[in-house]
């Protein structure tokens, strides 16, 4: 598997990792063969690049720095917290406490992978 910029994505390539939208909803599943309309959608969404499986990167596995489940859960919960703050400014401290829990989970996950070189695009939420 290797990371390629979106502008290099071509019809017929196989996705090496699933692609999610900003709300954590699955858009394209790992193993999907890329079609022209998928490239257009990925480009419209502003996704800078994707992981693909091909003969060049055969047998290379890229370890996720942050588990996709944790990433999706954290993004959704943080959005929920900001909505709560908008609706009720009195619970700001409580909501900051909730946010700290997710930040700690992400930091713990990063710290548990000490042998992994972190690519900044891998930890972007």
What does the DSSP assignment read for 48-79? Answer: -EEEEE-STTTT--PPPSS-HHHHHHHHHHHH
What does the DSSP assignment read for 14-27? Answer: EESS-EE-TTS-EE
pTM here is 0.60
- pLDDT tens, residue by residue, 6-47: 999 999 999 998 888 877 788 999 999 999 999 999 999 888
- pLDDT tens, residue by residue, 100-115: 877 787 777 777 766 6
- pLDDT tens, residue by residue, 36-45: 999 999 999 8
């Amino acid at each position: 598997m290797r990371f390629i910029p979106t502008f290099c994505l071509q019809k017929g390539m196989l996705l090496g990792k699933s692609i999610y939208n900003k709300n954590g909803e699955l858009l394209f599943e790992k193993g999907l063969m890329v079609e022209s309309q998928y490239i257009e959608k990925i480009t419209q969404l502003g996704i800078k690049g994707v992981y693909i499986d091909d003969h060049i990167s055969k047998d290379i596995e890229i370890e996720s720095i942050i588990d996709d489940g944790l990433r999706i859960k954290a993004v959704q919960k943080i959005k929920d917290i900001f909505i709560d703050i908008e609706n009720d400014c009195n619970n700001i401290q409580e909501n900051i406490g909730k946010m700290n829990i997710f930040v700690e989970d992400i930091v713990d996950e990063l710290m548990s992978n000490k042998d992994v070189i972190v690519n900044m695009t891998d930890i972007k939420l």
